[in-house]
Amino acid sequence: MKAIITVLMLFCAALSAEEMLQFRSDAERQLFHQLTAELRCPQCQNQNIADSNAIVAVDMRQKTYELVRQGQDRQQVLDYMINRYGDFVHYQPPLNRYTVWLWLTPVLLLLLLLGIGVYRRASQQANANTAADDGSDSAELDKLIARYRSKKP
Amino acid sequence: MRKVLFYIPLSLFLLLTLFLLSGLFSDPRERDSAVINKPLPAFALADLMQPEHIWTPEKLAGEVFLLNVWGTWCPTCNAELAYLAELRAQGVKIVGLYYELPRDPTFDAPFDLATLQQDVTQKLAQQGDPYQFNILDLQRTLSLDLGVSGAPETFIIDANGIVRAHHIGDINPMVWRGKLAAVYQQWSKP
Amino acid sequence: MIVEAGQLALTFAFALSVLLALVPLYGSYRASQPLLLMAKPLAIAQFVSCLLAMLALIYAFRSSDFTVINVAQNSSSTLPWYYQITASFGSHEGSMLLWVLMLAGWTALVAIFSKALPLLLQGRILAILGLINAGFIAFSLFMSNPFARSLPFFPVEGRDLNPLLQDFGMILHPPTLYMGYVGFAVAFAFAIAALMGGRFDSVWARWVRPWALAAWLFLTLGIMLGSWWAYNELGWGGWWFWDPVENASFMPWLAGTALIHSLAVTEKRGTFKSWTVLLALAAFALSLVGAFLVRSGVLVSVHSFATDPGRGLYLLVFLLLVIGGSLLLYGSRMHAVRSQARYKLFSREMLLWGNNIFLLTACFIVFLGTLFPLFHKELGLGSVSIGAPFFDQMFYYLSIPFALLLGLGPWVRWKQQQLSPLLSPLALVAVAALVLALGVMATLQSVQANLALMGLLLGAWVGMSALAEVMQRARQLGSVKQGLGKLNASHYGMTLAHIGFAVLVIGVAMTKTYTEERDVRMQAGDSVQLAGYQFTLTEVYPLNGANYGGQAAELDVSKDGHYVTHLHAEKRFYRIQRTIMTEAAVHARLSRDLYVSLGEELPGNAWALRIQVKPFVRWIWLGGLLMTAGALLSLLDKRYRRKQLAGAAQAGEQYA
């Protein structure tokens, strides 16, 4: 049972574990984590390269690490990967005249709905001839009963 | 006017179903290549069988060829060997790019070139040998530069060393006739 | 034998659902009371048939009957008994049967609890539910039969359940989620029935509200359980990935949230009618679109089912009939309905409209982000991917005005509200929120303008405003003590759900900002420091489970020299499916989780471990639970109970 590891080091002081990937600074480590989280594994179903253990994801992770260690910034690393694997590999599409609608349509929808709300209220205000506005439930119920009765086939 | 407004949800939904319908008949995992019409990236990799021979893009230039990414570990690649061998018999030049797997220290023996060469020789003897020669991509660096996401994948490289096609997945008669043959013909004209 | 009986039961269910769809509908045209009265027994019989079919499938799984293809592909004899049961809805076929069962269950519930409804309305609602279920049962029977046998050839052992699904969260997640999805079918049927009858009023809204709320409750719980499951089971400490499958559940949730708010306006004020009906249609339509996306294979997702285009085509045609038909009806009928209520710009009506437009925009963003890659590709523009960076950015900007409005909303009266009486309590809440947010950050020794500050501010604003509003309302009803007793359950439900949202926002912001993570190489005896905690690997040893092997790691955790806890992380290798699974060790506290996952073995008797400290991550699910509890509390409100609707019942009887 080769894999059984007993605590051989009881007599030693607790050894410090080394990081799998060494970084020079927290900023560098953060950049690496950010990049591997937003790069998509081209072979998997739908996973970023940080979470996937597919061969190509492992290779891309290693490459990202190398590039980060060379001091490249976020955009440079992204460009490196996009040059090889296409826009598909980045979880945020590039901004161009087609993809701009991705950001634009939600804003337009929000404005449109906002406009509808204000317009509706204004038009109701203008309509002076509104029905009794007591809003009480019993009145509504009476109306309902009356309607059902009147529509009896 | 007011009446028309209430049909907006319906029309948007119908538009959506059109997209969903066309989506049903296309493969969502198919992605376009980023390396087409770019020259082969720089590399210097050893020949699988004659490791003292180092291949570079310059040495590969001169005539159009297929670069086929494969490995003996990959069942799909093994399945396409026979058809590729047939293409070779028709005069298509095919170069193998051997995609070696990373090794897990727990389960796998360390990399040994002689064992691999033996494996490859045996496999090619069994299934048919389509390759002029094989380039060993031990660290998968050229594969990464070519945007390879796994094996098998096939590139068509023209006489000037420019990538002209990139096919992800296996090559069968349908793929060859439907997609790759035309590109190959186009770039093999002098 | 029992499997054939199950198949037969499902066939009966199909026949019953067709009858349920046709008989009351015909009855409603002929104004025939006997035909309309058929709806209830048909609905209950349909449910019983579906239940028998499901039980037969569970029996097939429990008895490891590998002649059934579904069993052979998704179970094994070594699988523990409780996973054999959950495996019955782990596959596409089985989950479709669960879906059908849930829908039949909701239909039966409507049949039982709708005595107060006019018979005509009741018949129409049940007929529409029957129609929808007929479509799904037919899909189950003809396109993805869970009982199909592979005789004469069958394997001696099954291929086992996907190890990802062998988790406690998976026992609860699919049933609750499906309850939520198909629960919106009830609100949908109410909307269609009302469109057919051409009447929408406060009473209609009051009838729909508890059903929409119940569906929303289950969907919230289901999504929350799914997130919790992903966190525990996927091994990377993520809790939301913006995967199409998750988005498919998030879209109806957002539309459903808008619906329950809009229904409040329609019930209390008799306005927003066409909007509320549209939302009722949309919530279920989005459930259906989600089911299509997951099961047709048009999108790439981590957990989509095995697909074939035939199924996709069937579902698309079904979608076209159900959604297209309902929207056609909407277009042709709804323009005639006018609202009459009057309200000022600063009124609860307008604030709830604000709530709705932000929720709808959020829903649209999820929809667009999920489907944009498909649009992009089908227009011949190439492949793009949309994921966390896009959604995170959009939701960040959207949640700020949304939370600000949410804090304000409950204070504002219907029709019109003067600003001046609200100024001083709201200013107080705002100052308190600021103090609280900065105070929390000061104790964390990290006061800076970032996501965490924004999350804390918004969370504190929403949460404290909700609490203060309850106190204020209570004070208006006499003394605080008396008033707290007088406030009705749905008011407390709303407050609780809003606090849940606040807790969720804080959880998300804090986790995203302060999570610390290290990938380390450790031998037994090694230790690593992270966020003040010292993790020491004591041993790694082989595992031997029922259907898996692998390795387990034991770690001790201490802080400032004091023992905190012991962690046990596993890396399992499931023998039959040959899959490696990471069973992370999680030590949960309200203020933080310690999360350790065991990675691969490295040369020199060492292992790779991923160690994470995730502050406030529990708050995400706690927030979901509070929202669920809020919905439950609202459902218990006595005005939804039958007695209070006696007037309507009379109306119905007289009509019938």
In chain C, whose CA is at the least distance from the CA of B6? C331
* B32 at interface of C, judged by CB pairs closer than 8 A: yes
Confidence (pLDDT) at C309 = 76
- Separation in Å, CA of B66 to nearest CA in chain C: 24
Tell if the CB–CB gap between B19 and C313 is shorter than 8 Å: no
Phi, psi of C202 (to 5 degrees): -60, -35
Both structure tokens of C510: 């804090």
Write out residues 11-30 of B within 8 Å (CB-CB) of C. Answer: 13-14, 16-17, 19-26, 28-30
In chain B, whose CA is at the least distance from the CA of C327? B10
Nearest to C224 by CA among C246, C209, C242, C243: C246
Tell if the CB–CB gap between C383 and A106 is shorter than 8 Å: no
Confidence (pLDDT) at A14 = 44
In chain B, whose CA is at the least distance from the CA of A86? B34
Question: Which residues are C572's β-sheet partners?
Answer: C550, C581
CB C490 within 8 A of CB C633: yes
Question: Which segments in chain C show pLDDT lower than 70?
Answer: 302-307, 641-656
CB A145 within 8 A of CB C650: yes
Determine the 3-state secondary structure of C96 from DSSP. helix
In chain B, whose CA is at the least distance from the CA of A60? B144
In chain B, whose CA is at the least distance from the CA of A61? B144
- Separation in Å, CA of C506 to nearest CA in chain A: 21
Strand ranges for C239-286 from DSSP E: none
Q: Which comes out higher in pLDDT, residue B85 or A125?
A: B85
B146 vs A contacts (CB less than 8 Å): 84
What pairing do the DSSP bridges indicate for beta strands C526-530 and A15-16?
Answer: parallel
Per the prediction, chain B carries an average pLDDT of 90
A101 vs B contacts (CB less than 8 Å): none
Tell if the CB–CB gap between B20 and C296 is shorter than 8 Å: yes
DSSP string, C217-230: HHHHHHHHHHHHHH
Which of B4, B8, B13 is the mutation pick for testing C, counting most C CBs within 10 A?
B13
Tell if the CB–CB gap between C361 and A110 is shorter than 8 Å: yes
Confidence (pLDDT) at A150 = 52
C328 vs B contacts (CB less than 8 Å): 10
Measured between alpha carbons, how far is C205 from A141 in angstroms, rounded to an integer? 12
Dump pLDDT digits (tens) for B5-48. 899 999 999 999 999 999 888 877 778 889 999 999 999 999 99
Which of A52, A148, A149, A150 is the mutation pick for testing C, counting most C CBs within 10 A?
A148
In chain C, what percentage of residues exceed pLDDT 70? 97
Tell me which chains share at least 3 CB pairs under 8 Å with chain A: B, C
Confidence (pLDDT) at B112 = 87
Write out residues 38-57 of C within 8 Å (CB-CB) of A. Answer: none
In chain C, whose CA is at the least distance from the CA of A90? C385
pLDDT bin (cut points 50, 70, 90) of residue A18 is: confident
Dump pLDDT digits (tens) for B141-162. 999 999 999 889 999 999 999 9
Phi, psi of C572 (to 5 degrees): -100, 145
C394 vs A contacts (CB less than 8 Å): 103, 106
Identity of the residue numbered C619: W
Chain-centre distance for alpha carbon C255: 12
* Site of tokens 């070779």: B88
Tell if the CB–CB gap between A42 and B34 is shorter than 8 Å: no
For residue C367, count other CB atoms closer than 10 A to its CB: 20
Tell me the whole-structure pTM to 2 decimals: 0.91
Beta-carbon contacts below 8 Å between A and C: 205
Confidence (pLDDT) at A134 = 42
* A125 at interface of C, judged by CB pairs closer than 8 A: yes
A103 vs C contacts (CB less than 8 Å): 394
Q: Which of B3, B10, B25 sits opposite C327 (nearest CB)?
A: B10
pLDDT bin (cut points 50, 70, 90) of residue A130 is: very low
Dump pLDDT digits (tens) for B107-127. 667 788 999 999 999 999 999
A58 vs B contacts (CB less than 8 Å): 102
For residue A61, count other CB atoms closer than 10 A to its CB: 21
Does the predicted interface ipTM exceed a cut of 0.85? Answer: yes
* C334 at interface of B, judged by CB pairs closer than 8 A: yes
pLDDT bin (cut points 50, 70, 90) of residue A142 is: low
The continuous run of DSSP H or E covering A117 comes out as helix A100-126
Confidence (pLDDT) at C641 = 67
Write out residues 446-485 of C within 8 Å (CB-CB) of A. Answer: none
- Separation in Å, CA of B2 to nearest CA in chain C: 7
Could you give the angle at the alpha carbon of C551 between the alpha carbons of C550 and C554, nearest 5°?
155
Beta-carbon contacts below 8 Å between B and C: 79
Q: Which of C309, C313, C375 sits opposite B19 (nearest CB)?
A: C375
CB C585 within 8 A of CB C555: yes
Tell me which chains share at least 3 CB pairs under 8 Å with chain C: A, B
Q: Which of C339, C353, C536 sits opposite A14 (nearest CB)?
A: C536
Nearest to A98 by CA among C380, C70, C625, C275: C380
Q: Which of A42, A58, A82 sits opposite B102 (nearest CB)?
A: A58
pLDDT at A13 over 60: no
Measured between alpha carbons, how far is A123 from A102 in angstroms, rounded to an integer? 32
Confidence (pLDDT) at C336 = 79
Q: Which of B32, B145, B146 sits opposite A86 (nearest CB)?
A: B32
Which of C36, C279, C345, C384 is the mutation pick for testing A, counting most A CBs within 10 A?
C384
* B10 at interface of C, judged by CB pairs closer than 8 A: yes
In chain B, whose CA is at the least distance from the CA of A3? B106
pLDDT at A44 over 90: no
Confidence (pLDDT) at C575 = 84
Question: Which residues are C556's β-sheet partners?
Answer: C536, C566
Contacts of C267 (CB under 8 A, 6+ apart): C202, C205, C206, C209
Q: Which of B33, B144, B146 sits opposite A59 (nearest CB)?
A: B144
Q: Which of C285, C330, C373 sits opposite B6 (nearest CB)?
A: C330
Tell if the CB–CB gap between B6 and C300 is shorter than 8 Å: no
Tell if the CB–CB gap between C285 and B13 is shorter than 8 Å: yes
Tell if the CB–CB gap between A91 and C389 is shorter than 8 Å: yes
Can you list the alpha helix ranges (DSSP code H) found in C444-568? 451-476, 480-486, 489-514
Tell if the CB–CB gap between A140 and C203 is shorter than 8 Å: yes
A55 vs B contacts (CB less than 8 Å): 101-102, 140, 150
In chain B, whose CA is at the least distance from the CA of A40? B149
Both structure tokens of A117: 């709300």
CA distances to A8, C206, C255, C520 from C281, rounded to whole Å, are 66, 17, 9, 51
Which of C200, C286, C323 is the mutation pick for testing B, counting most B CBs within 10 A?
C323
A5 vs C contacts (CB less than 8 Å): 523-524, 539-541, 605
C378 vs B contacts (CB less than 8 Å): 19, 22-23, 26
- Separation in Å, CA of A90 to nearest CA in chain C: 6
